[in-house]
Amino acid sequence: MSQLDDVTSNDAEPMDGSKEAKTGLISSESKEIILQGLWKNNPGLVQLLGLCPLLAVSSTVINALGLAIATTAVLVLSNWIVSLVRHHVPKEIRIPIFVMIIASLVTCIELVMHAYTYDLYLSLGIFIPLIVTNCAIIGRAEAFASKNTPTLAALDGLMMGLGFSLVLLALGAIREVLGNGTLFHGAQALFGNLFGDITVHVFTTESTFLFAVLPPGAFVVMGFLIAVKNIMDKKA
């Protein structure tokens, strides 16, 4: 749980109990949540949570997109529900209860994907049920949702989910281009025949660069993404 403690001490404290007057369309509180989720405290690049699915399924953009949507949906709903029941949950057994909430949601998502996007369901395989174990989700439930109002918690879930999705998509795009020279290959698995085959051939080669598709390539590309973020933060 030490990971969760770190996350808690990082960002949740200033949010707690602050009731600022709303100014304009977005309150400064919401702005902070958006910034935290997308950039400053990005689950993939800064917290380094949920790396297992992040690295495992990001070999193509479409796989990445499928998992990104599923994870974001679970994150929003779990944050919202956890926040709704936060006053009724005994503190001592809150983690098992959070896990049960998340597990039920993941089961729903899994059944939906099984029904509507069967090809994607097959290609993501074990990583759909494994969303339950994504530390980013339980981390947000514990660090944010259990201490904030449902609206803020849902917004936080959405932003953390989007932050996670962006990293997943960037990783997927880089690995697919390097590995196969294509983009959006196999879009039918996610969208059906809505768009047809929208594969973009960036370049063609007889010998594909397998390293980018294999797990070690994911780690290396991930390292570069984190490095780029750190450089940008340093310059800003």
Considering only 89, 211, 225, 226, the residue that binds other proteins (CB under 8 A) is 211
228 lies in the binding site for other proteins (CB under 8 A) = no
- Asked if 220 is part of the footprint of other proteins (rule: CB under 8 A), the reply reads yes
By the rule CB under 8 A, 196 interacts with other proteins: no
The least CB distance from residue 35 to other proteins, in Å, is 29
Cα–chain-centroid distance for residue 56?
Answer: 13
Please say which residue, 193 or 207, places its beta carbon nearer to other proteins. 207
Q: How far apart, in Å, do the first and last CA atoms of the chain sit?
A: 32
Among 27, 181, 209, 226, binds other proteins (CB under 8 A): 209
Residues in Cβ contact with 169 at an 8 Å cutoff, skipping those fewer than 6 apart: 61, 64, 65, 68
Q: Is 204 in the site for other proteins (CB under 8 A)?
A: no
Binds other proteins (CB under 8 A): choice among 26, 200, 214, 231:
214
* Residue 102 and residue 59 in contact, taking contact as beta carbons nearer than 8 Å: no
Residue 3 corresponds to which tokens in the numbers above? 């990971």
In whole angstroms, the minimum distance from the beta carbon of 171 to other proteins comes to: 17
Q: How far apart are CA 136 and CA 25, in angstroms?
A: 28
Spatial CA neighbour of 134 closest among 47, 5, 222: 47
One of 52, 112, 210, 231 touching other proteins (CB under 8 A): 210
Considering the complex, state which of residue 39 and residue 209 has its C-beta at the smaller distance from other proteins: 209
- CA angle 220/226/133 to nearest 5° reads 80
Taking the CA atoms of residue 25, residue 28, residue 30 and residue 34 in that order, the dihedral angle to the nearest 10 degrees is 110
Work out whether 232 is an interface residue with other proteins (CB under 8 A): no
Nearer to other proteins, 53 or 179 (CB): 179
Neighbour count for residue 9 (Cβ, 10 Å): 10
- Residues of this chain that bind other proteins (CB under 8 A): 207, 209-212, 214, 216, 220
